[in-house]
Amino acid sequence: MNRPMEGAADSEDGHQSRSSSVARSLNLPVGMSRDALHLDTIARRSWQGSASPMKQGISSAATSSPTRTSYSDRFIPSRSSSNLTGFALLDRSPSGLNIAQLNDVREDGGAAYSMLLRSELFGQEAASPATPEKSMGISLRDPMRSPISSSVSRNLFRFKSEPKPSTGPNARPENLFDLSPVGIDSALVAATMSPRKAPRKIARSPYKVLDAPALQDDFYLNLVDWSSQNVLAVGLGTCVYLWSACTSKVTKLCDLGPTDSVCSVGWTQRATYLAVGTNLGEVQLWDATKCRKVRTMGGHRTRVGTLAWSSHLLSSGSRDRNILQRDVRVPEDFVSKLIGHKSEVCGLKWSYDDRELASGGNDNQLLVWNQQSTQPVVKFSEHGAAVKAMAWSPHQHGLLASGGGTADRCIRFWNTATSTALNCYDTGSQVCNLVWSKNVNELVSTHGYSQNQIIVWRYPTMSKLATLTGHTMRVLYLAISPDGQTIVTGAGDETLRFWNVFPSPKSQSAVRDTGVWSLGRTHIR
């Protein structure tokens, strides 16, 4: 036991000679001594479990002085400064799991990796949709078997000669650079390789501009309406003109004379008759096909600035603060009077199911009526200015949008079924008109002071899809085409501008379901 201690006290020359001999025996580079290495001993055991022949040497080294360093033939580098977290070499399993659960987690991860590797190496045939245990015929729980050892040893260098189909679910891409590292038929690749839907583009300029001389710059009037037969009615001064979008033909329907003027126009659902509200408080009914006046209905004391049809029922709003309900099948001028507004009625809109009538006035009130009531069933007073702009959603029952004037500038949404306010959005300028798309869940607003713009919104996020400019004065008038794709806007600059803003309907049945095409049951005596 004292001999190793004596060896530690050898001279410096003897120490250097022994270092050189060790370096030559280990085949070290020139200039590197054994002191530059950190070597350790390795205990070896035989397959029969008996002690290794090196055991005696190891025991003696262990009992020797700590100043004597023993060496072996293995270089064990120090990994204390290595960062192994990025290579997933450290065990970060949950501490609450026992050994069996940890083995299950590791085996499940190995099974997923095995299936991915087999799919990439051996093609679609090897990646069976069944479980890895069933597809390979072995149990992944068996610690003595590797999930892919048998397949790799048998098929690793075997080439398939059968051609890949060019079409069908197993088709491979022609371009080798399109191959995915996770398999061509996986759900992720199917999602990434599907064609990307391009965002819809809305033209920023009108495709047609018409002159409209004497188109009044009056916020409280409604002088433009588009029929289901694709005919546009426009009130210009004392006259009403019809413009056919199919033939571009212009027809003069009527002239009220020098003592009167047109304040509102409104088509029946079948576009056979046109109602005209006058400055003297009359409502005239005209046969558009024959250019002949059918009847004149009174009841208002002053101008009729807004009209709305519900099948055979015509509603008219006036500066006298009243709303008259007129059944055109009976000889009486009106059948009921709706009293609720304290100032001029400037907006009227029937819902698509003909059950509710929304009215807006210069008293900043938004009222909702039903067919039987003479008093409003719902009152909304949140607007801070006149309410002319209104639109019912064709996609959701009871959803109503309204816009306020210059002092308000907001678009508000209401649920009339529950009489609750939903959302409010400040547009930055006077809201003159609103219309909801029948094809998609979007709406258009037109504005006056001070930006005179047209905005296309996506509902319910109210994100702006497009802002259209071109009018030099307030965009006071708005109507939508029967196919729901085109809008026409009118302003005090005496122009009518046509814009393509909405996509085409997916099917004709989808449009009929909204009630747009099914309302026309008007009967005239």
Q: How many domains does the chain have?
A: 1
* Model pLDDT, residue 11: 44
What is the Cα–Cα distance from 237 to 285, expressed in whole angstroms?
18
Residue 115 located in a structural domain: no
Positions of E strands within 311-386: 313-318, 322-327, 336-339, 345-350, 356-361, 366-370, 378-380
Question: 436-451 as b/e, with b when 16 or more CB fall inside 10 Å?
Answer: bbbbbebbbbbbbeeb
Q: Can you say whether residue 155 is alpha, beta or left, with left for phi > 0 and alpha for psi between -120 and 50 degrees? A: alpha
Residue 160 located in a structural domain: no
- Strand 250-255, strand 239-244: pairing: antiparallel
* Model pLDDT, residue 216: 94
Sign of CA dihedral 323, 448, 450, 468: positive
* Model pLDDT, residue 504: 87
- Looking up residue 428, the CATH number of its domain turns out to be 2.130.10.10
| Residue 120: burial class (beta carbons within 10 Å; 0-12, 13-18, 19+) | middle
* Model pLDDT, residue 114: 78
Token pair 């806007």 in the structure block, residue: 489
* Model pLDDT, residue 247: 92
Token pair 């002092």 in the structure block, residue: 407
* Model pLDDT, residue 297: 95
What is the Cα–Cα distance from 478 to 473, expressed in whole angstroms?
14
pTM strictly above 0.75: no
Q: What is the pLDDT along the chain (525 residues), one digit of tens a residue?
A: 444 444 444 444 444 445 455 445 555 555 555 454 444 444 444 444 444 444 444 344 444 445 555 555 666 666 666 555 544 444 444 455 555 555 555 556 677 777 777 777 776 544 444 444 444 443 434 444 444 444 444 444 454 555 555 555 555 555 544 444 544 455 445 544 556 666 788 999 999 999 999 999 999 999 999 999 999 999 999 999 999 999 999 999 999 999 999 999 999 988 889 999 999 999 999 999 999 999 999 999 999 999 999 988 999 999 999 999 999 999 999 999 999 999 999 999 999 989 999 999 999 999 999 888 888 999 999 999 999 999 999 999 999 999 999 999 999 999 999 999 999 999 999 999 999 999 999 999 999 988 899 999 999 999 999 999 999 999 999 999 999 999 999 999 999 999 999 998 874 333 333 333 222 333 332
Query: DSSP labels for 191-252?
Result: HHHSPPPPPPP--SS-SEEEE-TT----TT-B-EEE-TTSEEEEEETTEEEEEETTT--EEE
Pair 366, 358: CB distance under 8 Å: yes
Strand, coil or helix: what is 75?
Answer: strand
Residue 132 located in a structural domain: no
Residue 25 located in a structural domain: no
* Model pLDDT, residue 219: 95
Residue 167 located in a structural domain: no
* Model pLDDT, residue 372: 83
Residue 375 located in a structural domain: yes
For 452, the domain range is 208-506
Sign of CA dihedral 384, 386, 389, 395: positive
Strand partners for 287: 273, 292
Backbone dihedral angles phi then psi of residue 103, each to the nearest 5 degrees: -65, -35
Residue 402 located in a structural domain: yes
* Model pLDDT, residue 87: 45
Residue 16 located in a structural domain: no
What is the Cα–Cα distance from 264 to 496, expressed in whole angstroms?
16
